[in-house]
A and B are shown apart, each in its own frame.
Chain A
Amino acid sequence: MSQSEKRGLSSRPLVIIASPNPELRSRWKRGLGAAFPVHEVGRQADLERAMSGLAPGILLLDVSLSRPGGAAAVPALRQLSPSTRIVLLTALPNDQEGLLALKAGARGYCHEAIAPFLLKKALEAIQKGEIWVGRMLVPRLLEELTSLTKRRRKASPAEPDNRLERLTRRELEVARLIGGGANNKEIATRLTISDRTVKAHITTIFHKLGFSDRLRLALFVVNGSQSAGTHES
C-alpha cells in the first residue's frame, strides 16, 4: 500500500482544497486546523493532477472552479479518484443542484461560507461515512426518492390489471366508496340500498376480484392497476 493510500485510509485523510479564490481556500484551511493534512489547488488542471496523483480522502470543491461546474463536475472527478469523498461548496446553495450533486456521488453540499468549526465537523462526519447537507435538502431528497420509486413502478407493472372491469356498475360504485373509506352504513345511505344489499355486493366483489379483505380491496381501488400486491402476501 502506498503512502498516499495509507493516508487516505487513516483517520487523518489528505484533504484537497480546491477554489479559485485564495481567501476562501485559506478560510477553509484555517477551519480544519491541524485536524487534516491539506493540499491547495486553484485551477482545474492542478485539481485533476492532484486527484490522480494523491488519492486524497476528501475533496473540498468550490463549484466555480471547474468547467462544467457544480454537480456536473462530480462524475469525472470520481473517475479520477474513486475513493475520494467529494464535498461541493457554493455561494448560492439550491436544492436542485444539491440533489444532482448527491445523485452524482458527492458526499456533501454546503454553503462556501460555512462556519469553520462546522466545516471540520462535516469532514469528520463524512469520514465516518455520513452525508453532510443542509437540513432542508433532506425532505427534497425524500420527495425525489418517492417520485422516482413511483415512476419506476408505473414503468413496469406486474401485469396490466383490468379486474375492475368484471364489476357491474353498481358493484363499482360500492368498491369506489370502500376505496374512499366508507363503512357499510355509509354506503347503504349513499346508494339508498339496504345494509344487507351492501354486504351482498361486497361478497360478490371479493369473489370477482379474488380478494378476501376490505383493505386489500380499498388499496386496489385507490392505487388503480399499479398495485404491487395483486396477490395475498
Chain B
Amino acid sequence: MPKPSITVVIADQDKARRTSCMRLLRSRRDIRVLGQARSGLEALAATRLKPQVLLLDLSLSRGHGADLLPAIRKSSPGTRIILVAGRASEARILDGLCHGAQGYLDKKLLRDFLAKAVRIVGSGRAWVSRKLVPDIVDRLARLAA
C-alpha cells in the first residue's frame, strides 16, 4: 500500500515563485499541495487545511514581528514550517526558528532542494544549514541561563 502523501500549503506573495514551487512539487507522487496563500492573512487561514508542511515566505511575517508564526502553530500544531528566505539576515531566520519554524530554504536553492526539504521536514526532521547550528545553540543557552 502506498504511503500517504505529505500535504503542503505554499504561502508566498510572489506569484511566479508560488507557481514554480507548485510545479516543483506537483510532479512528486509522495507530495500533495493542498492550497496556496498570497498573504500572511491567507497563510493563517490556510492552517484550517491542517497541512503537514507550510512553505512560508519569510517576508510575509514582516511587520508582524514575532506574531505570525506562533499564531500558525497555535491554529495548527501539527503543521511544520519551512521558511523561504531571500537575502534575509541570519537574525531574521533565527527569529523564525525561535518562533516555531523547523527549517529554512534560500530562494536560490528551491529548484534543487524544495522537494527534499519538504520530505525531510514532513517526516519530523529539521532543514537548517549546519553553519547555523552554533547560533541556535547559543540562543538556547542564553534563554536557558
Binding site for B on A (CB under 8 A): 102-105, 125, 129-131, 133, 135-136, 138-139, 141-142, 144-146, 148-150, 152-153, 180-183, 214-216, 218-219, 222-223, 226-229, 233
Contact = CB atoms under 8 A, between A and B. Distances in A.
B67 interface: yes
Contacts of B130: 125, 130-131
A178 to B, nearest CB: 9
B14 to A, nearest CB: 18
B16 interface: no
Contacts of B45: 180-183
Contacts, number: 111
B134 A131 contact: yes
Pick from B41, B139, B141 the residue with the most CB of A within 10 Å. Answer: B41
B70 A130 contact: no
B67 A227 contact: yes
A129 B134 contact: yes
B133 A233 contact: no
Interface of B: 39-41, 44-48, 63-68, 70-71, 73-75, 97-102, 124-126, 128, 130-131, 133-134, 136-137, 139-141, 143-144
Contacts of B100: 146
Given A103-B141, A129-B134, A219-B44, 5 more contacts: A103-B137, A145-B140, A180-B48, A180-B75, A219-B71
Contacts of A102: 137, 140-141
